[in-house]
Amino acid sequence: MPRQFVLGLAVAGALLADPASACSPVTTGTGAFVAGGSCNTASGDYTTVGGGDSNVAINDHSTIVGGQQGIAVGLHHGIAGGQSNAARGSYSFSGGGNLNFALAPHSTVGGGLQNYNIGQYAVIGGGDSNTARGEGSFIAGGADNSVSGDYSGALGSNGVVTHDESLVISVDSSCNSDADNAVSVCAPSGLFINGVDITARRRQLMDSGVDRTAHAAALTAFEESTERLEKALAHNDDLQHKVERMEEHMSRVQSILAAKSL
């Protein structure tokens, strides 16, 4: 764990352990500013803490708007509010919620609970217990989603995305990505488009016990019969062409014989 992040945790812990000893604003950085609140610290250069309680802005050009126990450790990052949120990566942002961590450069956690973003340029919109690891990945919300593929995403809950440039849409069930550049959908109760369940027919076939092997054999036999018919028709066309040529030849012979008989 980086030294600056450990330092931030230590400072926050000291404030919480003995709030009466350090409830006045602490500004040690050049151009640092604490607007109000209780037990807030701005130790980085040009850092700002707007208010709230026991917030710590350590690195340069960081901002904590409010909330409680927020820790801003990375360069040029911000925490809007919430409780026990941390922004460590440079240019990272935590919007609110509780126990959210934006730890990679340019990472964002909008809100929610216990979300963990370690993917560069990754975004977690909200939800509960989501983890973004892939570069440029996103989790819109939901719960217990994990995205490790680059430029991939998850919608819903219990989605696991390990492939690159893929999307998993999971509805109340565990759902894994299947391939790069693919969309995987897990919907146990059906997939509806304009009110029509497009998976119903498949379920009906499965429930009816249709012998798919027999269907496949019948389809193969039909295809073979069609191929034989096409060959027969082609052969018939060839015979017809030969008959026409013979008729033309006989006509010329008859014309020659007629001319000689004169």
Q: Indicate if 111 and 185 belong to the same structural domain.
A: yes
CATH number of the domain enclosing 85: 2.150.10.10
Task: Give the predicted TM-score (pTM) of the model.
Answer: 0.68
Q: What's the number of domains the chain is made of?
A: 2
Range of the domain at 55: 3-207
Residues of the chain short of pLDDT 50, as ranges, are 1-21
Please list, residue by residue across 225-245, b when 16 or more beta carbons sit within 10 angstroms of its beta carbon and e when fewer do: eeeeeeeeeeeeeeeeeeeee
- Give 146-202 pLDDT, tens digit per residue: 999 999 999 999 999 999 999 999 987 789 999 999 999 998 888 888 777 877 766
Say how many C-beta atoms besides its own lie within 10 A of residue 194's C-beta: 5
